[in-house]
Amino acid sequence: MSKLHREHVDVLIVGGGMIGLSLSILLAQQDRKVMVLEQHVQPQLTDELALRVSALNDRSRQVLKQCGVWQRIKNHRSGPYNSMQVWDKDSSAHIEFSAAEVDAEDLGAIVENNVVEHFLWQRAEQLGVKIQQAPQWQLLTAGNESHSAEVQLEQQLVTADVLVGADGGRSKVRHWAELPLTFWDYQQQGIVANIRTEKPHQGIARQVFLPTGPLALLPTPEANTVSIVWSADQAFAEQLLAESPARLAKWVESESGRVLGECRCESAVKAFPLRMQYARQWQQQRLVLVGDAAHTIHPLAGQGANLGFGDVKTLAEALGSGHLKALDELQRKLSAYQRSRKAETQVMIAAMELFKRGFGTANPLLKGLRAVAFAIPNRFTPLKRKLAEIALG
C-alpha cells in the first residue's frame, strides 16, 4: 500500500465558490497558509451572460475590494442598480427608493457568480493559496486540543488548525459533523433566465409580488437585458417549465404589467428548489461553517450572497491575530464569530419569512394591510432612507 503524502496548513477550506475563495484570500493576506478543496476547475470568462447571478450590496463589494478583485469584476462586467421598485400585482401596494436618497452612487450591483469566482481564483493563486481539485475526499477528524483536523484525499493527508465548510447548502462538512439543522421547504422553484426587453431597464431593480410567488427583474450590464428570478409555487413552476422559453418570456411580460415592454428569452431556462435551512450550531472542535453551509434563505431580496460575505469578513477578522493551534483560544474566536453572524442571519430569515407569508397570499385582509404598509414608507422619506441604507448593507 502506497504511503500517504502529508501536508499541514493553517486553514483548510472545503469549497471554492465565492465565499470559500474570498475567505482564502483574506486569510492569505494575514500570512496564513491556506488550502482550498474544490470539485471543479476555475470558471472561465465568456461573452454570454451567465444565469447564476447575485445582487451585491456595498459591504460585500468592500470585501471584494479588500480581496483586490472588485475593480477587475467591475471592469469586466457588472450591472449596478441605482433604484428599486417593488409592487404588488393585486393591490395598490408599492414602494420605490433610490441611491440618491442616501447620497450613494448606487444601491448595489448584479454580478455573475462565475465572473466573481474567476477573479477570486486568480487572486488566490497569486497569493499562494493552494487550490486543489478534489472530487473525492474524506473528513477523518475535526481535531482536538492536541491534534489537527484531518482530511484524506486519494494519496494525501491534509491536516489543518482550522477546517472551514464553505461547500454550500448540501454541505458534506456539515453533514459529517452532524451539526443540527432547522429547515423547511417553501414548495417553490426558483426559475432563472435572461430576458431581452423592449424598454431599457435604466439600472432599476424591480420585483413584483404575484399570488403564485415573487418575480424579480434584475438589471444586467446590457441596457435591454434583465436577469429574472421567479420564485414560483411548485404547481405553477411546473407549468412554466413545461412551456417553451418564448412562452415563458410572454408570461414575464404579462405578469410584470409590461413594465419593460415586449419580452423575449435569450438563454436557457433553469430552475432550483427553494428551501430555508439554518444550522443551529456552526462549529465543532476545529471545524466551522460559512455561507450557504451555515444558512440558506429565500432569494426574495437577493441577500444570500451578502450574508455569506458578511460571514467571510467576520471570520477573517476573528482568525486574524494570534495562534490557531491552542483549541481553547481558537474556540473563543469561533464562538464570537458564531454569535455575531447568527444574530444577523436570524433577523434576515425572519424578515424573509414575513415578506414571503405577507405577500404570498390572496387573502383580502392581508392585501389591504400590505397596501397600507407599503404606502407609509413610500411617503415617509426618513423611513425610505432607512430601507435604502439596508439595501446598501
* DSSP summary character for residue 92: S
Q: Give the Å distances, CA to CA, from 182 to 172, 341, 346.
A: 16, 16, 12
Q: For residues 16 and 234, is the Cβ–Cβ distance under 8 A? A: no
Domain borders along the chain are: 5-69+113-182+275-355, 82-107+187-274+370-392
Is residue 145 very low, low, confident or very high in pLDDT (cuts 50, 70, 90)? confident
Tell the burial category of 228 from Cβ atoms under 10 Å away from its Cβ (0-12, 13-18, 19+).
buried
* Model confidence pLDDT, tens digit, residues 261-293: 999 999 999 999 988 888 999 999 999 999 999
* Model confidence pLDDT, tens digit, residues 110-136: 999 999 999 999 999 999 999 999 888
Q: For residues 389 and 381, is the Cβ–Cβ distance under 8 A? A: no
pLDDT of residue 1: 45
Is residue 236 very low, low, confident or very high in pLDDT (cuts 50, 70, 90)? very high
Q: For residues 67 and 123, is the Cβ–Cβ distance under 8 A? A: yes
* Model confidence pLDDT, tens digit, residues 17-47: 999 999 999 999 999 999 999 999 999 999 9
Does the reported pTM lie above 0.75?
A: yes
Report the 10 Å Cβ neighbour count for 60: 28
Q: How far apart are CA 311 and CA 294, in angstroms?
A: 9
* Model confidence pLDDT, tens digit, residues 63-117: 999 999 999 999 999 989 998 888 888 777 777 878 887 778 888 999 999 999 9
Return the C-alpha cell found at 197: 426587453
pLDDT at 392 over 50: no
- Three-state SS sequence of 263-301: EEECCCCEEEEEEEEEECCCEECCEEECHHHCEECCHHH
Going 209 to 213 to 219 to 225, the CA torsion angle's sign is negative
Quick one: residue 324, left, alpha or beta (phi over 0 = left, psi -120 to 50 = alpha)? alpha
- For residues 285-304, average pLDDT: 86
Among 153-157, 236-240, 343-347, 369-373, the range scoring the smallest mean pLDDT is: 369-373
Q: How far apart are CA 107 and CA 391, in angstroms?
A: 6
pLDDT of residue 131: 97
Return the C-alpha cell found at 77: 462586467
3-state secondary structure of 387: helix
C-alpha triplet 275, 234, 257: angle, nearest 5°: 105
- For residues 188-204, average pLDDT: 95
Q: For residues 276 and 296, is the Cβ–Cβ distance under 8 A? A: yes
pLDDT of residue 329: 93
pLDDT of residue 227: 94
pLDDT at 49 over 80: yes
pLDDT at 384 over 90: no
Q: How far apart are CA 243 and CA 240, in angstroms?
A: 5
Q: What is the CATH number of domain 5-69+113-182+275-355?
A: 3.50.50.60
Which residues lie closer than 8 Å to 81 by C-beta, 6 or more apart?
Answer: 55, 106, 107, 108, 109, 110, 203, 204, 205, 218, 219
When the pLDDT of each residue in the chain is averaged and rounded to a whole number, the result is: 87
Kindly provide the residue ranges of all beta strands, DSSP E only, lying in 23-169, ordered along the sequence.
Answer: 34-38, 53-56, 79-81, 83-88, 94-98, 108-112, 130-133, 138-141, 149-152, 156-165
Q: How far apart are CA 126 and CA 120, in angstroms?
A: 10
What is the enclosing helix (H) or strand (E) of 355? helix 327-359
Angle between helices 304-318 and 327-359 (to 10 degrees): 160
How much of the chain, in percent, has pLDDT values that exceed 90?
65
Return the C-alpha cell found at 110: 448584479
Quick one: residue 24, left, alpha or beta (phi over 0 = left, psi -120 to 50 = alpha)? alpha
According to CATH, the superfamily of the domain at 82-107+187-274+370-392 is D-Amino Acid Oxidase, subunit A, domain 2 (3.30.9.10)
* Model confidence pLDDT, tens digit, residues 310-366: 999 999 999 987 889 999 999 999 999 999 998 888 877 776 666 555 555 455 544
Q: How far apart are CA 184 and CA 172, in angstroms?
A: 19
pLDDT at 382 over 70: no
